Amino acid sequence: MNGAHSLLATLRANEVTTIFTNPGTTEVDLMAALDSFDDVHAVLCLFEGVATGAADGFARVTGRASATLVHLGPGLSNGWANLHNARRAHSPIVNIVGDHPDAHRLLDPPLNSDLEGLTQSLGGWFRRIVDADDVADLTAEAVGACYGPPGRSSTLLLPSNVAWSDVAAPPHWPVARRETAPAPSSQDVVHAARSLRTRRSAIFIGGDAVSGAQLALAQRVCAATSSRLIMETFPAIFEHGAGIVSPERLIYLSDFALGQLSDLEVIVLIGATAPAPPFAYRRGPDQIVAQGCDVIDLAPPGVDTFAALDSLVNELDAPPVSNPSGSPAEVPPGPLDSHALALAIASTIPEGLIISDESNTSGLHLYGATQWSNRHRVMTLTGNAIGFGLPAALGAASAKQGRVLAIEADGSMMYTLQALWTMAHEGLDVTVLALSNRSYAIVELELRRVHQPLERSSSQLLVDLDDPALDLAGIARGLGVPSVRVETTQELLDALLRSYSTPGPMFIEAILPHGIG
């Protein structure tokens, strides 16, 4: 038994049994050790950004940590952007990063870099393991730390000499003690309840609090206090569809969000941090919370949101609210646009579908359209770092909780398209709906705030993706995923329904109008 075995045994004892990875030479002892752990599943990803995004998706749908295993500084850097999204989602993840032995690092071999500095820049918890006898305890500590609350990344730097060094198996593998999220104080609950009752107010909800059950509690509180219920723009994962409360959602574009929040005197945070604009502008708001509006931090990330909502319901004696019901709108025939797209998706969602939503501008109508669809869950782009959608879908599907639909903008898809191969390799039930608008439409929209680009100008060429046109379906086929191209709502409906009833991955390229339409 060596350090590598000790690490895997401890992960298994802590129920971390899925490892998304692209390993290299410093990780060969861990690779070898995997053959002694039939119940630990290593998922090969052809780029580390796929591995980290997959770990994030897995965490969002299960609430449980998986691991990533990557190769020194460059491997970790390739996974950094999706760990940024995971940090914003408070996803528990254990990263294992192979490194050179200490003595060898002093020679500054080619792959050596400032790995500590890079790891620190991720935020979260990290340790370098220097002694194989510490592997088990530090691995358990890493698992404990990644659960927070709130959840975060834990990163273990594992020099190869630690992985290959012999260790004695302990009588028991250490199991992490998991901290429980504290409930807000009754004083804070009373204060929040009074504020909601007496002033123009909203609950701003997100994070752990956007399950159907908690949204229903929040709705009771809001009904009892004539407050609004507003969901953050990009929750890690929320429940949606028939029977689930569908709150208004904070608008992405700051000018509109400013108007949306302008009359509020109080915002009570449940699972979310204070509303902030994604970007600031020379001529435009750099703050969206109205001046003088109080923000009450009742249950920020890391606090027990269920307890907070339950206490508010009790404090206010808020009665249950009956939900209206409806059904998805009819799907218009003809060529696709963002509206028809949303209706086609909404009318076909099977019960329990998990959506990985990186649809960006093309997905504008999705949230509204799917209100009466079958119950489903939606993961979104928490950290605004594109390239999240396909990896997260891969990770979510690896959790085997049912089919996953990735709704993916073309520009974003190109960041981490390697995920498609692993979907095929693992035979995962993922439908990828790739939205071809041949444009970085959101950037074009923002560019046009400051500038009117001429056709074929330098700036316009930086937002167009049509020269040459990307054959997304062809690329997906090359990566091993059966694919089809659709141009009408009927073709899209057929393709979606066929994919939902066919095991394994399927790729659908949907042709939309060019650009911001």
Q: Closest separation between CB of residue 277 and a copy of itself, Å? A: 7
220 binds a copy of itself (CB under 8 A): no
Q: Closest separation between CB of residue 441 and a copy of itself, Å? A: 12
Paired residues of 21 in beta bridges: 44, 69
Q: Which of 368, 480, 513, 517 binds a copy of itself (CB under 8 A)?
A: 480
> What is the rounded (10 degree) CA torsion for 282, 284, 285, 291?
110
Q: Closest separation between CB of residue 36 and a copy of itself, Å? A: 9
Residue list 394-413, contact with a copy of itself (CB under 8 A): 411
Q: Which is nearer to a copy of itself, 286 or 294 (CB)?
A: 286
Q: Which is nearer to a copy of itself, 20 or 372 (CB)?
A: 20
Q: Closest separation between CB of residue 153 and a copy of itself, Å? A: 12
Binding mask 155-184 for a copy of itself (x = CB under 8 A): -----xx--x--------------------
H-run or E-run covering 334:
none
CB atoms within 10 A of CB 454: 9
Instruction: Give the Cα separation of 515 and 517 in Å (integer).
Output: 5
Q: Which of 6, 10, 18, 49 binds a copy of itself (CB under 8 A)?
A: 49
Q: Closest separation between CB of residue 193 and a copy of itself, Å? A: 27
Binding mask 81-120 for a copy of itself (x = CB under 8 A): x--x---x-----------xx-xx--xxxxx-xx--xx-x
Q: If binding means CB under 8 A, how many residues of this protein chain bind a copy of itself? A: 102
Q: Closest separation between CB of residue 470 and a copy of itself, Å? A: 7
Residue list 488-507, contact with a copy of itself (CB under 8 A): none
> What is the rounded (10 degree) CA torsion for 379, 383, 385, 388?
-20
421 binds a copy of itself (CB under 8 A): yes
Residue list 275-304, contact with a copy of itself (CB under 8 A): 276-280, 282, 286-287
Cβ neighbours for 116, distance < 8 A, ≥ 6 positions apart: 128, 157
Q: Closest separation between CB of residue 449 and a copy of itself, Å? A: 7
5 binds a copy of itself (CB under 8 A): no
The count of C-alpha atoms lying within 13 angstroms of the C-alpha of 274, restricted to the half-sphere facing its C-beta, is 12
Paired residues of 405 in beta bridges: 355, 431
Give CA angle at 110 (107, 114), nearest 5°.
Answer: 80
Instruction: Give the Cα separation of 391 and 385 in Å (integer).
Output: 13
Q: In what order do the strands lie in the sheet with 294-299?
A: 248-249, 228-231, 201-205, 266-270, 294-299
Q: Is 229 helix (H, G, I), strand (E, B) or coil?
A: strand
H-run or E-run covering 508:
strand 506-511
Q: Which is nearer to a copy of itself, 13 or 274 (CB)?
A: 274
Q: Closest separation between CB of residue 173 and a copy of itself, Å? A: 20
Q: Which is nearer to a copy of itself, 74 or 149 (CB)?
A: 74
Concatenate the DSSP letters of all residues of 11-49 into one string: HHHTT--EEEE---GGGHHHHHHHTT-TTSEEEE-SSHH
Stretch that binds a copy of itself, among 173-181, 314-322, 350-358, 459-467 (CB under 8 A): 459-467
